[in-house]
Amino acid sequence: MILYLDTSALVKLYVIEPDSDRVRAWVEASELVAVCRIAWAEACAAFARRAREMPADQGVLEQARQALGRDWPHCCIMELTQALMERACEYAEVFALRAYDGVQLAAAAALRDAVGGAVAFTCFDQRLDTSKNLLRGRMAALRGARMLAYLLDMSRILHSVRLALQPLATVFRGARLNKAARVLGLEVQPTR
């Protein structure tokens, strides 16, 4: 299995958080671990933020940063190319993602395209998680009030012109990154 880690999953390898054990097990079971080049900066920023918020953890967080540095050369690094940035821009627009979430999803999709096979995309960011599911084409089974709230949210996000021109946009617009990954055919690691 090829495992793609977004930064929220990558940090769990180095800092004890909920689901850290699950991420470690997935990494151990994988043939290859892939990350996007921006994950380095994002992870280091996360370590620095935590050190500011919890000064007593500074030593442990410096060790985490050093461990990331030792592991980094063993990862498959998805580089930031113009094509990847254009794809990220498209995903950010279609799925209402933050810029770096669009980059993460585009990098995982580019990896999937490059290897011509399954890539397990792992993230712990709710918006990204929702979009990767949509991208893979599997809508989450929502019932009752949750389904109504979901549909109302989708209708607020949709642009009327896109809806008229692309009827499928209704499905894609309201969801976030996890669902987006599924539409692209990325295998999704369950994060719940």
Helix axes 82-95, 99-115, angle to 10 degrees: 120
Token reading at 1 = 């299995």
| Dist CA 43 CA 28 (whole Å) | 20
Contact 53, 13 (CB under 8 A): no
Does pLDDT of 173 surpass 50? no
Q: Could you tell me which residue, 162 or 126, shows the higher pLDDT?
A: 126
CATH number of 2-139+176-188: 3.40.50.1010
Indicate the helix (H) or strand (E) that contains 76: strand 76-78
Average pLDDT over residues 127-132: 60
Length of the chain: 192
Residue 9 has pLDDT above 80, yes or no: yes
% residues pLDDT > 90 (the chain): 47
Rounded CA-CA distance 157/142 in Å is 18
Mean pLDDT of the chain, nearest integer? 75
What is the crossing angle of helices 99-115 and 126-135, to 10°? 40
Which residue has tokens 């990154």? 177
CB atoms within 10 A of CB 153: 14
| Mean local confidence (pLDDT), 19-24 | 92
Cβ neighbours of 144 (radius 10 Å): 7
Which range is least confidently modeled, 27-41, 53-67, 155-169?
A: 155-169
pLDDT digits (tens, 9 = 90+) for 37-79: 999 999 999 999 999 999 999 999 999 999 999 999 999 999 9
Q: Contact at 8 Å (CB) between 68 and 43?
A: yes
Instruction: For residue 45, give the nearest of 110, 100, 82 by alpha carbon.
Output: 100
For the chain, domain boundaries: 2-139+176-188, 141-174
pLDDT band per the 50, 70, 90 thresholds, residue 148 = very low
What's the Cα-to-Cα distance from 47 to each of 42, 96, 107, 189, rounded to whole Å? 9, 26, 23, 24
Give Cβ neighbours of residue 109 (< 8 Å, ≥ 6 apart): 87, 135, 181, 184, 186
The answer, yes or no, to whether residue 110 has pLDDT greater than 90, is yes
User: What pLDDT shows up at residue 175?
Assistant: 41
The sign of the torsion formed by the CA atoms of 132, 136, 137, 141 equals negative
Tell which residue, 105, 166, 110, 155, has the closest CA to residue 134. Answer: 105
